[in-house]
Amino acid sequence: MVLKLYYLEDGPPSLSCRQVLEALEPLAFELVNVSFYHGEHMTEEFGKMNPQKEIPVLEDDGFFLSESVAIMQYICDKYKPGNRLYPTDPKARAIVNHRLLFNLTTYYHDLVTYTIMPIYFAYERTPEGLKRVHRALDLFDTYLQRLGTSHAAADHLTIADFPLVNSTMLLEVIDFDFSQYKHVTKWYNDFKKNHPASWAVSAEGMRLMKNCAANLPDLSHLNHPLHPTRSIKK
């Protein structure tokens, strides 16, 4: 049975998993679009695949896996072991794992909270949130400077680059100027230039998010269990 990725077109974790699947070509897989707007991830049926009711989810012949980092690691280990995208040397792999966790716990967390959560839900951008964005950017800039490599975790593309690019892209969605972070800016622009097929996946997600930023969506029909929604009278 072909690998299936339950996928959100404008979800950064989904974009990263798709980029890994595509970078490991030839690897057959199918994308199954899940509509956040229609709450397709909030159903009992979806909860059987992922009790967290979050997208993405990978289905591999009856095996269901959520959490984008676990998905990216699994795909590499199972289908292309030894591939440079996810190195096997302990130190090289540790750096990749570090960047993946830094992104998940800090960089993505702080950037998504400030940039796009206020687009989809009734949240405000706060000075405290802005401080966190600058701290996260400063940390990532420091990591890039200290390692001194062309990519986030090595002198070649690894699975760590994808989620870090998709987090950074969120800043572009809201035209946030991060040019003062020289290493982040160079790494991000180099990724776009050197990995155009991967970047095209991020760019499509960014286009959808920019549309939502220009026309705030009304998700009040979801009765979301966690996030406050706004009703928009049209």
Query: Given the rule CB under 6 A, which residues bind ligand GSH?
Result: 8, 11, 13, 41, 54-56, 67-68
Q: Does the annotation mark 202 as catalytic? A: no
Residue of 160, 128, 129 lying closest to 143 (CA atoms) = 160
Those residues whose C-beta lies under 8 Å from the C-beta of residue 151, and which sit 6 or more positions away, are 157, 158, 160, 161, 187, 191
Nearer to ligand GSH, 73 or 181 (CB): 73
β-bridge mates for residue 158, sequence order: none
Count of beta carbons in the 10 Å neighbourhood of residue 219 = 20
Question: Please, what is the minimum distance in Å from the beta carbon of residue 197 to ligand GSH?
Answer: 22
Nearer to ligand GSH, 109 or 183 (CB): 109
Q: In which residue are the tokens 């946030």 written?
A: 176
Question: Please, what is the minimum distance in Å from the beta carbon of residue 41 to ligand GSH?
Answer: 5
Out of 14, 68, 167, 198, pick the active-site residue.
14
Tokens representing residue 156 in the block: 């070649």
Report which residue's Cβ sits closest to ligand GSH: 11
Question: Please, what is the minimum distance in Å from the beta carbon of residue 89 to ligand GSH?
Answer: 25
Question: Please, what is the minimum distance in Å from the beta carbon of residue 199 to ligand GSH?
Answer: 19
Those residues whose C-beta lies under 8 Å from the C-beta of residue 1, and which sit 6 or more positions away, are 60, 61, 62
Nearer to ligand GSH, 13 or 87 (CB): 13
Question: Please, what is the minimum distance in Å from the beta carbon of residue 205 to ligand GSH?
Answer: 10
DSSP state of 39: T
Nearer to ligand GSH, 47 or 82 (CB): 47
Cβ atoms of 92 and 151 within 8 Å: the answer is no
Count of beta carbons in the 10 Å neighbourhood of residue 125 = 14
Q: How far apart are CA 43 and CA 147, in angstroms?
A: 44
C-alpha neighbours within 13 Å on the C-beta side of residue 35:
6
Nearer to ligand GSH, 55 or 201 (CB): 55
Q: What are phi and psi of 5, to 5 degrees?
A: -115, 115
Query: Known catalytic residues?
Result: 14
